[in-house]
Amino acid sequence: MPGQKLYPRATVKKIVKAHSNCSVSKNADVMIFLDYMLFMQNLVKEASIEAKKGGERGITARSVKKVTADSLAKFKG
Amino acid sequence: MARESRPLDATPRAATAEPISNFRRSLIQTPGSQRRLQGLSASGRKIAPPTATPHARAAFRTIDSRRAAIFTPHRARRKSVREARDSPRDLLLGLGKVLAKKTEPIVTSSSSPGDTPNNNRSDDDDSHETTLGPLHMSYDDDDEADLPKRPRLSLPIDREDESGSDDLVPHRSVLLENEDNYTMQSVEMPRRAYSEGPGGRLSMNSTRMSDFFNTNDMLHSEDFGRESGMFPPINVMEEEGTFTMADILSPERLESDTGRRDTGRESDFGIHVPVDLDDQTSFVIAPEVQSSPVRQPDDLDEPVYNDFALMEDQRSDSDDGAMDHGLDDFGDIGELPDMEDEDPDNAANETTTHVDIGNRTETEVLTHAQRAELRAAAAARKKRINISKHGIQYPSLPPAVVKRLAQNFAKTSGAKGKITPDAMNAIMQASEWFFEQLGEDLEAYSKHAGRNTINESDVITLMRRYVCFLLSYNLRFSSRQRQVNSLTTPFALASRHLPRELLQDLRMPPPVLSKKRRKAGEGAVPATAEEDESVT
């Protein structure tokens, strides 16, 4: 983590631009990525809980899929 | 009484006369009887003192038995009878014999004077007078005399037992060969041998049936029924079960055969899930393809996006002009995920509109199908270029970044940092969906504010919902500590999650933005107060 950058800012900006058809202000992408990080945290946490519930060892595709819709709904504006 | 007369240290007489009985007696000796023997065991060793604990006594006993086994001279001869000795049944028999000698009431009960002698007399008076003669006399004598003589009188065998109680060796072996074999043969041994034998089940069934009918006629009729009738049905049932299981596991068959679903509702439900899962794992595109056409009508209808809509229309245009422009266009457009769903419509339109072209349309349709396949394959193979609903190409987030994030969060959430590739695919899919949703929401916010640019305030407004959720979540744990405000403002979250250089970017902007951020934090506070009240 220290040496490399956390995420490609330009890519995130492009993604959001493409989806919203709006320009993104200079530093809004940082907040967007923060939101994305929160989403990922939520997703992974829920997925790990789900995996533990299902008796799986690690996080599996099944648990992630099961949880995806829920955490997406949580982050809906 | 016989024991007392016998020499204690293994003498030749004891060994020759009754080797097994001698050995067994030394084995079976009870502590009480040993005490009677003046503290000397059969081998002459000192036995456990009366004050010894039961465990110590048991240890002494085992040691004594071992010594007796070692020092008795005729061990070699006993080896010939070892089979008989080894079976626990033999030990039990010997015990029974020994006890039977001591406990006389058993003998008397078996040949009780009230029942058997009278019956014997009444029955045998008619038929066997020769045997009755001695019986009758002895019965009269014993009726008033001592009890131990009665067994003698009832049967000559008993008399032999009592007189030669110690030399039971031949008798026991005979018993083993005859009675024990009878009991062991009785029901189960042969069957087990057949069932556990090597070879296929069916062949074994046939042989087993024949064998059973021949050999075990004495056995119950249940066995025949079990062997012949029950096993084939069981096999059939198992086969059917395996078929259904295979059906459940293999999605193709289920998809093809709808008639298969008459197995039941539960199986139906169980069937649907794996099909979906398999689809998702095999084709990552599938959900996208399904989700995108929903939005297309909006795009096509909206005049603002005509430029981008034209890009999409290129597909249909190029479909028409495929003959003119060649297949190169399709190569580019082939990467569009929307194509597959539009294909049928376009093809139908083409066929209806260009009926006059005839052969051409057919070839076109064919090329469409082939192209769709190629497209799917290519999309699955290489990192595809995504196109948003506005028709703008966008790169997907690099998987390495997502993986690192996910691993970090997995570690912090308690699970192991390991994430399977399948799970990674699912997470990538989820993040794509997330950005899609986020883009739409941000667009709505910014448009609502009359802007065409997405500001940080928009993002904060978007985040506030989740932040509020966080607040309500944290209230349960830290409402008393009043940490809620500082912990869950977006800025606090940012300072917790983001590296310093990104934080600097967040702090650097002019105070207007920070005000907005503060506003967001203040806006969150009253909500927490309300929720605090509602919770508490």
Q: What is the DSSP string of B230-250?
A: IHHHHHHHHHHHHHHHHHHH-
A24 in a domain, yes or no? Answer: yes
Is there a contact between B397 and A76 if contact means CB atoms under 8 Å apart?
A: no
Average pLDDT across chain A, whole number = 86
Region B118-139: mean pLDDT is 44
Question: Residue B252 above 70 pLDDT?
Answer: no
Strand segments (E) across B309-463:
386-387, 393-394, 453-454
pLDDT at B484: 36
Q: Given a cut of 50, is residue B153 above it in pLDDT?
A: yes
- What whole-number distance in Å separates Cα of residue B3 and Cα of residue B14? 10
CATH of the domain at A32: 1.10.20.10
pLDDT-derived band at B450 (thresholds 50, 70, 90) equals: very high
Residues 216-255 of B with CB under 8 A from A: none
Among A72, A52, A6, residue whose Cα is nearest residue A33: A6
Name the pairing type of β-strands B386-387 and B453-454.
Answer: unpaired
- Choice between B468 and A44, residue whose per-residue pLDDT is larger: A44
Domain chopping of chain B, boundaries = 2-128, 187-242, 283-382, 396-452, 455-536
Summarised one tens digit per residue, pLDDT across range B278-307 is: 444 444 444 444 444 444 444 444 444 444
Averaged pLDDT for residues B372-380 = 60
Looking at residue B261, what is its pLDDT? 43
pLDDT of residue B317: 41
pLDDT at B94 over 60: yes
| Mean pLDDT, residues B383-402 | 81
Q: Is A26 on the interface with B (CB under 8 A)?
A: yes
What part of B 408-437 touches A (C-beta under 8 Å)?
409-410, 412-416, 418-420, 422-423, 425-427, 429-431, 433-437
Using one digit for the tens of pLDDT, what is the confidence trace for A19-33?
Answer: 988 899 888 888 888
What torsion, rounded to 10 degrees, do the Cα atoms B409, B411, B414, B420 define?
A: 90
Mean pLDDT of chain B: 56
Name which residue leads in pLDDT, B142 or B372. Answer: B372
- The SS3 call for residue B387 is strand
Q: Point out the residue among A25, A31, A59 whose CB comes nearest to the CB of B423.
A: A59
User: What confidence score (pLDDT) does residue A38 get?
Assistant: 87
Q: Which of A8-17, B196-205, B416-425 has the highest mean pLDDT?
A: A8-17
**Averaged over B144-149, what is the pLDDT?**
53
Domain range holding A66? 9-74
Query: Per the structure, how many domains does chain A have?
Result: 1
ipTM of the complex: 0.95
Q: Is residue A28 part of a domain?
A: yes
Q: Give the number of other Cβ atoms within 10 Å of residue B344's Cβ.
A: 12
- Please report whether residue A1 resides in a domain: no
Cα–Cα distance measured from residue B116 to residue B106, given in angstroms and rounded to the nearest whole number: 14
B433 neighbors B490 (Cβ within 8 angstroms): no
Q: How far apart are CA B267 and CA B254, in angstroms?
A: 11
Whether residue A29 lies inside any domain: the answer is yes
Note the pLDDT of residue B152.
57
